Structure formats: C-alpha cells, structure tokens
Structure 1
Amino acid sequence: MMTNLFSVFDPSSSIFNLSLNWMSTFLGLLLIPSMYWLMPSRYNIFWNKILTTLHKEFKTLLEPSGHNGSSFIFISLFSMILFNNFMGLFPYIFTSTSHLTLTLTLALPLWLCFMIYGWINHTQHMFAHLVPQGTPAILMPFMVCIETISNIIRPGTLAVRLTANMIAGHLLMTLLGNTGPSMSSILIMLLLITQIALLILESAVAMIQSYVFAVLSTLYSSEVN
C-alpha cells in the first residue's frame, strides 16, 4: 500500500541492506555485446544510423573550434539516458532518471568542467558572454547579474527538467492504474486504451528528454570555446 503518491519512486529492493534498485541503470549494458557480432543485425544497423546522425548534428553544434572526439561524450550521454528512460517503462524496474541523485550527477560535473575549462583558457570570451552584444551601458550591471544567475542554474535546470518529465508521466499512469479495481468492465477497457496511449507518449518523452539533455550539454560546451 502506498503511504504517499511519490512512494512509487522510492528505492525499495534490497539484499543485505544493499540497494539493488540502481542496478537498473546498468541493464542497458546487457544489450551491448550484440554490437560485437560479426554480422550486424537490423537493430545494429538502425542504432548505428542514429549514432551517425547524432554525431553529425553534435559536430555542427560544436563548430570547428570544438575538440575532436568531444561529440562522442554527448552521444554516450544520450545513449545512457535513453536506456534508463526506457527501462523505467517496464514493470518492476526502478526508474533511476526520475531521481535527482542520477540526473544531477550527470549535469553538475559536465557543467563544472565546461566552466573551469572556459574560465582558465578563454577568460575574455567568458566575460564577453556576460554582456550580450548591443546592450546599453546603463543595463550592463543588470545583464551581468542575470547572465551569471542563468549560468549558475544551468545544471539544476538540466537535472530537474529530466527528472520532472520522468516523474510526471509515471505518476499519471500510476494514478490511473490505481483506479482500475473500482471501475466497471467498460471503463476498464477505456482505461486500458488510455494507459497504452500514455505508454506510447512516455516512450516519445523518453527519447525527447535524452535528446534535449544531450543537445543542451553540447550547446553549453560550445559556448566556452
């Protein structure tokens, strides 16, 4: 029985007081060995096309000034978040991306690395970013404050956006699912159709949110070069 609506997201599986819920984060690794087969399957070809498309897009966003191979960091980030988002849609699998513990762990070190690298190697460029081009002199102090605050909250917005989107859909599906036992058979059919539609929507959200996280990280890194 749920004591609280958000208790569906509580880590609960444990053996010898060791939490096993976070093991779901590594379930995607089970799909990787198929990549090393001699004859690529249709799944491999499809996944390689996705990665190639992402690589081209991230290279465009990073511009020529970006370091070689840096797009692979963001492709790996996209793959990891996508796997975890999808795993959370299966019954009895812990949704690790619905916790700030994971999302902040991804966003904060990335942002810190960009900031440290930018301020050490491109100090003037970073100062120039604090005042947008064409800003009147009287508004410059305010713009510096606004730009500084917007820069500082970036890791928080990255993490909260992903977490909130994962929680929202799962909560809605849980709420609708809990009303099932008290419904008539006709309403249960409607509920099933609604749940299937929500599951399709959540699959789309899982893809979109992983893409948004990776693209925004790429844009933040391109700003410091």
Structure 2
Amino acid sequence: MMTSLFSIFEPSSSIFSFHLNWLSTFSGALFMPFAFWAAPSRWLLLWAKIAHALHLEFKTILGPTNLGVSISFVSLFSFILYNNSLGLLPYIFTSSSHLVMTLALALPLWSAFILFGWINHSQHMLAHLVPQGTPGALMPFMVLIETISNVIRPGTLAIRLAANMIAGHLLLTLLGGMGPLLSTWLLSILIFSQVLLLLLESAVAIIQSYVFAILSTLYASEVN
C-alpha cells in the first residue's frame, strides 16, 4: 500500500535512465519571452506588482547594503511557486516534494551565507553564538545550541517545503481512491471536499514559497 501510494511522487518517465519528469522543473523558462511583449497582459502586470512588493519587503529585511540580493530572493520565490503550482495539475510531476530539489535550493544558500559571514564578519558571527545577557556558566551550552540551530537550518528549510507538498498530495490521493467505493450521495460530498482541499493546497503552495524565501532572507540578514 505504501509503495503504491508514494509512487505518485516517482519520476517514472525516462529515456536512457534520465528521468524526463524533472524537465518540468525548468519549463518555466518557456514563459520568459512573455515579459518582453510590447503590450503585457493583465496577469503579467499583476505578477510585476507582486514581485515589486516582495522586492521592497526583502530589501527592508536585508537593509541598505543588500546590493540587489533581494531580487535573487524574488526569483527564488517565483521558482518555488511555479513548481508548487505545477504539481497541483493532474499527472504532473511534483519536483518540490523531493528532498533532492529542496536541499539543492537550501544548502547552497545557507553555505553561501555562512561562508560570507565568517569570512567578512567573523566577530559578528561569534557574537551571535552567545545572546546578550547570558550567564557565564551557560555560555558553553548556548554556543552548542546556537551552533546546532545554525547547522540544521538548510534541513529544516528543505523538509518543511517537501513535507507540506507531500502531505497535501497524499491526502488528495487517499480521498480520491475512495471514489469507486462510495454511493452517489457520498461521492458528491467527496468531490466537494476534494475541491476544498485543492483550494487549500493552492494556498499552501503560495505560503510555502513565501516562507522559504522569507526565511532565506532572514538568514541572509543575520550575516550583514
């Protein structure tokens, strides 16, 4: 049962051992030419306003010395949101439900922040290990706790995104598999609940993209 249930997350289509479903992760590049049209659509204008609002928010968190890094986090939000939304379509591979992808996003970001902080702001990074006002006897324990909390950050980012994507899809799959066993009246209730769950998953796709981007921005602001 578990094997057949989790098989919905397996990239089954392949040629010469290369899983073609992973190509959906990069298919968002096909929409890039629309941004260069002389007369942009209303959807494009709406997305431009959303991106601008996110840019201002990330810029405020990073401070005046962000050097345009906030644009990178807007791109990160857009990339994750695209993949999360793509996974809501039937028979489309959900790449953001795999730790391979989420760790590939979180680990390089965290590594870059840590290296930048320790190379350029060593005293500032050391000061973060001991919160102000900590008693002398507790300082070794606080250093250990803060070190562990910093080390597990990429894992928490990756697991949070993947787990939320997996949980919603599994629930939709479990409820959908009950359809042939139900009567007409119960089936109508099931379809209504599936629609509500799909709306909830759409909200989760947006929220998790924002959470991943905003936490990455907060981690970057700590090394400035």
Provide the TM-score with structure 2 as the length reference: 0.97
Aligned to 2:60: 60
Amino acid at match of 1:138: A
Aligned to 1:32: 32
For structure 2, list consecutive stretches of 5 or more residues without a partner in the other structure. Answer: none
| Residue 147 to residue 3, structure 1, CA distance change in 2 (3 Å) | closer
Distance in 1 separating the partners of 2:17 and 2:109: 31
Q: Does 1:141 find its partner at 2:143?
A: no
Q: Does 1:201 find its partner at 2:204?
A: no
Aligned to 2:117: 118
Do the aligned partners of 1:122 and 1:224 also contact (CA within 8 Å) in 2?
yes
Aligned to 1:11: 11
Alignment of structure 1 residues 169-208 onto 2, 5 Å: 169-208=168-207
3-state SS of 2:146 partner: helix
| Residue 136 to residue 2, structure 1, CA distance change in 2 (3 Å) | closer
Do the aligned partners of 1:61 and 1:218 also contact (CA within 8 Å) in 2?
yes
3-state SS of 1:149 partner: helix
Aligned to 1:84: 83
Distance in 2 separating the partners of 1:27 and 1:116: 32
Aligned to 2:214: 215
Do the aligned partners of 1:104 and 1:155 also contact (CA within 8 Å) in 2?
yes
Q: Percent identity?
A: 67
Distance in 2 separating the partners of 1:161 and 1:3: 22
Distance in 2 separating the partners of 1:170 and 1:201: 11
3-state SS of 1:146 partner: helix
Instruction: Tell me the C-alpha RMSD between the 2 structures.
Output: 1.2
3-state SS of 1:169 partner: helix
Do the aligned partners of 1:115 and 1:224 also contact (CA within 8 Å) in 2?
yes
Amino acid at match of 1:106: L
3-state SS of 2:141 partner: helix
Shift of 1:2: 7.4
Shift of 1:44: 1.1
Do the aligned partners of 1:165 and 1:205 also contact (CA within 8 Å) in 2?
yes
Distance in 2 separating the partners of 1:160 and 1:3: 20
Shift of 1:5: 2.1
Shift of 1:91: 0.6
Provide the TM-score with structure 1 as the length reference: 0.97
Do the aligned partners of 1:2 and 1:8 also contact (CA within 8 Å) in 2?
no
Aligned to 1:105: 104
Distance in 1 separating the partners of 2:118 and 2:97: 32
**Regions of 4+ moved over 4 Å:** none
Distance in 1 separating the partners of 2:117 and 2:16: 45
Do the aligned partners of 1:84 and 1:97 also contact (CA within 8 Å) in 2?
yes
1:10-49 C-alpha deviation (Å, 9 max, x unpaired) = 1101133321110110222222221110011101110000
1:140-194 C-alpha deviation (Å, 9 max, x unpaired) = 1110000000000000000000000000000000000001111111111101100
